[in-house]
Amino acid sequence: MGLIVQKYGGSSLADVEKIRNVARRVIALKEKGNQVVVVVSAMGSTTDELLSLARQFTSDPDERELDVLLSTGEVVSSALLAIAVQSMGHKAVSLNGGQAGIQAEASYSRARIRAVVPRRIWSELGEGNIVVVAGFQGITEEMDIVTLGRGGSDTTAVALAVSLGAEACHICTDVEGVYTADPRLVPEARKLGEIDYDEMLEMATYGAKVMHPRAVEIGKLYNMPILVACSFNDSPGTLIHGGTTVELGNKVRGVAHDLNVAKVTVLGVPDRPGIAATLFEPLAQAGISVDTIVQNTSVDGITDLTFTVAQSDLEKASRIVEPITRSIGSRGCVTAAGLGKVSIIGSGMQNTPGYAARMFKALSEAGINIEIISTSEIRITCIVDGGKVPDAVRALHSAFQLEEE
Amino acid sequence: MGLIVQKYGGSSLADVEKIRNVARRVIALKEKGNQVVVVVSAMGSTTDELLSLARQFTSDPDERELDVLLSTGEVVSSALLAIAVQSMGHKAVSLNGGQAGIQAEASYSRARIRAVVPRRIWSELGEGNIVVVAGFQGITEEMDIVTLGRGGSDTTAVALAVSLGAEACHICTDVEGVYTADPRLVPEARKLGEIDYDEMLEMATYGAKVMHPRAVEIGKLYNMPILVACSFNDSPGTLIHGGTTVELGNKVRGVAHDLNVAKVTVLGVPDRPGIAATLFEPLAQAGISVDTIVQNTSVDGITDLTFTVAQSDLEKASRIVEPITRSIGSRGCVTAAGLGKVSIIGSGMQNTPGYAARMFKALSEAGINIEIISTSEIRITCIVDGGKVPDAVRALHSAFQLEEE
């Protein structure tokens, strides 16, 4: 009995029958006495179709216009879901990002939410409506439409839940929750009943696709419980929350992996202050997220610097880095694609030694060579050959006995 | 050298190549030194596809949600055309109805424009942009999206042209202009170089599909010259204007026809005040446009009353009229579908006798029976059997020698 925000992704809304299924689910939630706000993504492959239409005109369409174009996908879903709910005899209304009060910065294709002003949502809830909000989009001060980038609909949902003071935010998707590892790679992988924000953040950042880290971050900041659950059945899902009740028995919570990894090594970098900024600021400005950065101790004031980027960003990153390598007097750069990341994650690890050693041993026993290592307090990540990633995930899942409760 | 508003319909934007063609045309107009505002419809059959998607949930989708859904079609076109223009090296920006300042009344699916506040358009023109506006839509005071009903994009274009003080409004379509009759029925039909507002209003209202009467009406009210021209070539088109220079030689300007006609006859209606209102008010409220109304002189205080409606509205009209016929004590009603309308139109007719006689004679010589007759100052319309309409159009075109300049 309260206010619930549910988000449904594109695969849960891919066709008329699936939209009807979502309508039945949100109606059931309403009939239990809840006020319901539903955030929707674009149907199935709509976003890709719109994108490919735009790319028939130019390989690099203007970001403002692309945002206008792509935002229509979520608007279509929102209207259709409202119609589906109404066709079942319940009141519903669709709102686009601007109407829902999602105010965003004027940064096309990857805007951040500045504020949520959900006045209209409250008034529609007051009228007894199920409120369907088009996800992934916001409106700038100039009344321009912007999209929120990857994970945008998850972010819309959690931000709305926070600003409405919702009881919980449900992320409804095509998997049943968060698993100890990808079940497609590890058949023994176990669904987690709960996970804390920090662990989920690391899982999501290091490859678990189920939820976007941005949205987890907002949840963590405002302590909003997030339930990741399946759109197609009533299995209980995974609750992401503040962690006070998280069982601490097994200190590795899960294994995450990511196959979209490439590395760039800048050779013979003069070891003087400001070099890293010269290199990484232009990458950040281009929206390229740099992950692991490794720099060896310098010998004679010269060092090598290696960092990883998403493989899909490699070409763009090389174009930016190459001229810089010359200007800073390095010996140039080499790149390698086809890498992968495997990570073990668990908040119990941070005060307990020996996890790294067990991880390296398990990989070594599986015949897997480690290229780069990086760690956080609750995570250890190894960069390995992409082809070895499935074996690595299985080896780690087994070494840390994650199949056991 | 001035400001021109051009409107392109769905068939002119049906695919990527056609959108490129429109982009080249608006760029050419800009390069001649004009400021250019382009109003676009949804691509090809998009609107029908969205409508059929909605109807998979219910045969009678909510009008507010339908407006949200359908309005996305024009937004998609506007973004794609802006991208196409940019890909050819020119500046462009897309605006939706709300951003373009199209303020409309809160009447879903058939809103009228309340006001145009084109502040944003001026500022984008000032930046040197070709401004692409999504047609067919407006925004209410509540910030809800409404569509403008049939002819909505034409209406957007003419209203924008008026409020911007444009030099002219171009309606670019898949025909070359306004013809003396439908060239598919009459191969000798001649394209008119010009036509005055009133004639065009009658032509459009009585079946010429090239432009919607609402838009002509706004043009007339504000004396905005409207050029109807082909999107695919540079042939000169037809100028709709105030009529001072319209040649008056041939007093019938054209023959219009309409095959979407049905009639309803209410039998044995008591001839007392208020009966007509009882009948026609509920039809108007249901958005059914009643055309010709004929009532015979009453005999013994009883009369028959016949009116025509669009055949596509006949079922809805019957459902409304039947209970009323009982409540007013008439002998019930009968309906007939499959009728058609042929009209001759020309402002020279109004002070000259003999046109009606020549029309009836031409139809009679072609063996066509006239069911109902209605007239305005500049139009004579006969309702005939639908199957006879092509013959009727040809007979009238020939009788009034419209193939001659």
pTM for the predicted model, two decimal places: 0.88
Instruction: Give B345's pLDDT tier (boundaries 50, 70, 90).
Output: very high
Q: Which H or E run includes A139?
A: strand A137-139
Q: What is the mean pLDDT of residues A63-86?
A: 97
The alpha carbon dihedral of B311, B317, B318, B319 has a sign of positive
Q: Which residues contact B291 (CB under 8 A, 6 or more apart)?
A: B261, B307, B308, B309, B310, B341, B374
Distance between CA B43 and CA B50 in Å, rounded?
12
Measure B240 CA to nearest chain A CA, in Å. Answer: 34
Nearest-by-Cβ selection for B65 from A62, A64, A79: A79
First-to-last C-alpha distance (Å) of chain B? 31
| pLDDT value at residue A48 | 93
Per cent of chain A over pLDDT 70 is: 97
Beta strands in B142-217 (DSSP E): 145-147, 168-173, 194-196
Q: pLDDT digits over B33-63, tens only? A: 999 999 999 999 999 999 999 999 999 999 9
Q: What is the mean pLDDT of residues A239-266?
A: 82
Highest average pLDDT, of A122-131, A297-306, A320-329, B174-183, comes from A122-131
Cβ neighbours of B57 in A, within 8 Å? 16, 19-20, 80, 83-84, 87
Exposure string over A269-294, b if 16+ CB within 10 A, otherwise e: beeeeebeeebbeebeeeebebbbeb
| pLDDT value at residue A59 | 94
Q: Domains (ranges, CATH) in chain A? A: 3-174 (3.40.1160.10), 255-399 (3.30.2130.10)
| pLDDT value at residue B376 | 84
Instruction: Give A250's pLDDT tier (boundaries 50, 70, 90).
Output: low
- Of residues A347 and B345, the one with the higher pLDDT is B345
The tokens for B380 are: 């004579």
| pLDDT value at residue A298 | 72
Q: Is the pLDDT of residue A71 over 90?
A: yes
Nearest-by-Cβ selection for A99 from B57, B80, B143: B143
Instruction: Give A249's pLDDT tier (boundaries 50, 70, 90).
Output: low
Q: Give me the total of CB pairs closer than 8 Å, taking one residue from chain A and one from chain B.
A: 102
Q: Is the pLDDT of residue B249 over 60?
A: no
| pLDDT value at residue A226 | 97
The ipTM of this complex is: 0.86
Distance between CA B256 and CA B393 in Å, rounded?
8
The tokens for B162 are: 């008026």
Chain A residue at shortest CA distance from B101: A143
Question: Cβ separation of A76 and B144 shorter than 8 Å?
Answer: no
- Of residues B377 and B264, the one with the higher pLDDT is B264
Backbone angles phi, psi at A321, to 5 degrees: -75, -40
SS3 call for B377: coil
Reduced DSSP (H G I as helix, E B as strand, rest coil) percent helix, strand, coil of chain B, to 5: 40, 30, 35
A205: left (phi over 0), alpha (psi -120 to 50) or beta: alpha
Instruction: Give B327's pLDDT tier (boundaries 50, 70, 90).
Output: confident
Distance between CA A147 and CA A135 in Å, rounded?
9
The mean-pLDDT minimum among A37-46, A287-296, A358-367, B145-154 falls in: A287-296
Q: What is the mean pLDDT of residues A101-116?
A: 94
Question: Cβ separation of B94 and A65 shorter than 8 Å?
Answer: yes
Q: Report the interhelical angle of B389-399 vs B355-365 (nearest 10°).
A: 130
Measure B3 CA to nearest chain A CA, in Å. Answer: 23
Gyration radius (Cα) of chain B, Å? 23
Cβ neighbours of A83 in B, within 8 Å? 54, 57-58, 61-62, 65-66, 69
Cβ neighbours of A96 in B, within 8 Å? 68, 145
Distance between CA B108 and CA B207 in Å, rounded?
25
Instruction: Give A405's pLDDT tier (boundaries 50, 70, 90).
Output: confident
Distance between CA A211 and CA A157 in Å, rounded?
12
Question: Cβ separation of B79 and A86 shorter than 8 Å?
Answer: no
| pLDDT value at residue B250 | 56
Q: Is the pLDDT of residue A158 over 80?
A: yes
Chain B residue at shortest CA distance from A61: B83
Distance between CA A54 and CA A186 in Å, rounded?
39
Instruction: Give A103's pLDDT tier (boundaries 50, 70, 90).
Output: very high
Distance between CA B61 and CA B59 in Å, rounded?
6
Task: Please give the angle made by the CA atoms of A23, A29 and A35, to the nearest 5 degrees.
Answer: 105
| pLDDT value at residue B245 | 52
Q: Is the pLDDT of residue A304 over 70?
A: yes
Chain B residue at shortest CA distance from A63: B83
A130: nearest Cα among A200, A31, A52:
A31
Mean pLDDT of chain A: 92
Question: Distances in Å between the alpha carbon of A322 and those of A134, A327, B354?
Answer: 41, 9, 86
A301 exposure class (CB count in 10 Å sphere: 0-12, 13-18, 19+)? exposed
Instruction: Give B257's pLDDT tier (boundaries 50, 70, 90).
Output: very high
Question: Cβ separation of B99 and A72 shorter than 8 Å?
Answer: no
Distance between CA A192 and CA A227 in Å, rounded?
11
Q: Is the pLDDT of residue A248 over 60?
A: no
| Neighbour tally for A332: CB within 10 Å | 12
Nearest-by-Cβ selection for A86 from B19, B53, B62: B62
Gyration radius (Cα) of chain A, Å? 23
Mean pLDDT of chain B: 92
| pLDDT value at residue A347 | 82
Distance between CA B170 and CA B191 in Å, rounded?
16
Distance between CA B67 and CA B296 in Å, rounded?
42
Per cent of chain B over pLDDT 90 is: 73
| pLDDT value at residue A157 | 97
| Neighbour tally for A117: CB within 10 Å | 12
Q: Is the pLDDT of residue B18 over 90?
A: yes
Provide the 8-state DSSP code for B89.
Answer: T
Cβ neighbours of A58 in B, within 8 Å? 83, 86-87
Do the Cβ atoms of B189 and B247 come closer than 8 Å? no
Question: Cβ separation of B69 and A83 shorter than 8 Å?
Answer: yes
Distance between CA A104 and CA A322 in Å, rounded?
34
Q: Is the pLDDT of residue B251 over 70?
A: yes
The tokens for A299 are: 């010998």
Do the Cβ atoms of B392 and B382 come closer than 8 Å? yes
| pLDDT value at residue A359 | 93
| pLDDT value at residue A245 | 52
DSSP string, B338-373: EEEEEEEE-GGGGG-TTHHHHHHHHHHHTT----EE
- Of residues A404 and A243, the one with the higher pLDDT is A404
Distance between CA A120 and CA A132 in Å, rounded?
12
Q: Which residues contact A34 (CB under 8 A, 6 or more apart)?
A: A1, A2, A3, A4, A167
- Of residues A391 and B405, the one with the higher pLDDT is A391
Mutate to test the interface with B, among A22, A59, A72, A93 (most CBs of B within 10 A): A72
Q: pLDDT digits over B19-32, tens only? A: 999 999 999 999 99
Q: What is the mean pLDDT of residues B129-148?
A: 97
B268 exposure class (CB count in 10 Å sphere: 0-12, 13-18, 19+)? middle
Measure A290 CA to nearest chain B CA, in Å. Answer: 30
The tokens for A90 are: 């319940």
Question: Cβ separation of A98 and B143 shorter than 8 Å?
Answer: yes
The tokens for B92 are: 């462009």
The amino acid sitting at B114 is R
| pLDDT value at residue B386 | 95
Task: Please give the angle made by the CA atoms of B152, B154 and B158, to the nearest 5 degrees.
Answer: 115
Chain B residue at shortest CA distance from A55: B83
